Amino acid sequence: MKFFQCIEALGAMALMVSCERPDASSATISGAQSDDIAGWTIATEGDLNSFFDCLDAAGLALVSAHRGGPAGGNPENALETLRATMRAVPAIMEVDVAQSADGVLFLMHDETLGRTTSGGGRADETQWAVLRRMRLVDAVGRETDFAPPKFSDVLAWSKSRTILQIDFKRSARYGDVIDEVYRQGAEDRVILIAYSMASARKLHSLAPDMMISLSVNSQSELNRAVAAGVPEDRIVAFTGTDGPNPRLLTLLDRRNVETIVGTLGSRSSIDAEIARGGDAQRYAEIAADGADVIATDRPRAAYSALLDAGRAPTDGVCGISKG
């Protein structure tokens, strides 16, 4: 009798294990390679400045996919979404990096988990063992099969594929993120986002060989950044979301400072206006005004408009290729 009770107990345990939600993160990484074969790649060849100079000389602009370019069933900040975007367009991948309660760096925008995952609570108060078993939710609230990815896995995936623009969430320690970038030798394919002069100065002190995206709305703001110790050749100037300022873009170009114009954001954003009105030509006009990068929630539409106007990088240009 005890023998059969033991068998029944073992069967119950096996059933419980089989019903436990699997860790999707490891499966995601192992299956990534085959899905990347047909995609675009951006190879900076060790020098971001030279890469952007090449695009500038050709009169071309690059798109930056906000939160990886979520669309359809692909949720924001998912490795699968980054892969899907790179299959469609050559783009910089803007991602948000947070840190779990036990110090694991992972992709997540919000401080809480309810909007974008199947879980809840504060992201920085949740252990990675719990986070890794959650599922990401797409823009219309549908749960997907995708798990929050580790930053280290996304950084490894990006090698020889694209540039990561890193938005630090409050929980993510600068030093931990930068240490991982250096550990993987990825300093020539990341742009660190700073929201203040103090943050830019701190980031530059920790990573003097990495590019830093900083809001620059005037020549005096650029001068203040340089006076604070951030060299011009390390700055990528984010010039705002209100539309291009051709005079400022020209000035920054003369000083060899790379520029980003944002079309992303709220319902009143340029992206939203274009989506409502169908005037995709505005993306090309922004590039013509001198933007090196267009940060957008609509990377596919933006790239298509740039391509139609002869302003988009194509296969074989400046280290960009399509597999």
Domain regions of the chain by residue span: 23-322
Please state whether beta strands 40-42 and 62-65 pair in parallel, antiparallel, or not at all (unpaired).
Answer: unpaired
Note whether 163 and 210 are within 8 A (CB): no
Angle at Cα 47 formed by Cα 69 and Cα 63, nearest 5°? 20
The CA distances from residue 286 to 56, 137, 243, 244, 311, in Å, are 14, 32, 8, 6, 10
For residue 39, what is the DSSP state? S
**Best CA proximity match to 156, nearest among 256, 54, 26, 273:** 26
Which residues does 45 contact at the CB level (< 8 Å), separation at least 6?
51, 319
Note whether 212 and 194 are within 8 A (CB): yes
At residue 278, the pLDDT reads 86
CA-based R_g, the chain, Å: 21
Q: For the whole model, what pTM was predicted?
A: 0.90
Query: What is 23-322's CATH topology?
Result: TIM Barrel (3.20.20)
At residue 323, the pLDDT reads 87
Per-residue pLDDT of the chain (323 residues; tens, 9 = 90+): 433 344 344 344 333 333 345 554 444 443 344 455 579 999 987 789 999 999 999 999 999 999 999 999 999 999 999 999 999 999 999 999 999 999 999 999 999 999 999 999 999 999 999 999 999 999 999 999 999 999 999 999 999 999 999 999 999 999 999 999 999 999 999 999 999 999 999 999 999 999 999 999 999 999 999 999 999 999 999 999 999 999 999 999 999 999 999 999 988 999 999 999 989 999 999 999 999 999 999 999 999 999 999 999 999 999 999 98
Please state whether beta strands 293-296 and 40-42 pair in parallel, antiparallel, or not at all (unpaired).
Answer: unpaired
At residue 23, the pLDDT reads 54
Cβ count within 10 A of residue 54: 18
At residue 46, the pLDDT reads 77
Between CA 274 and CA 259 the distance in angstroms is: 21
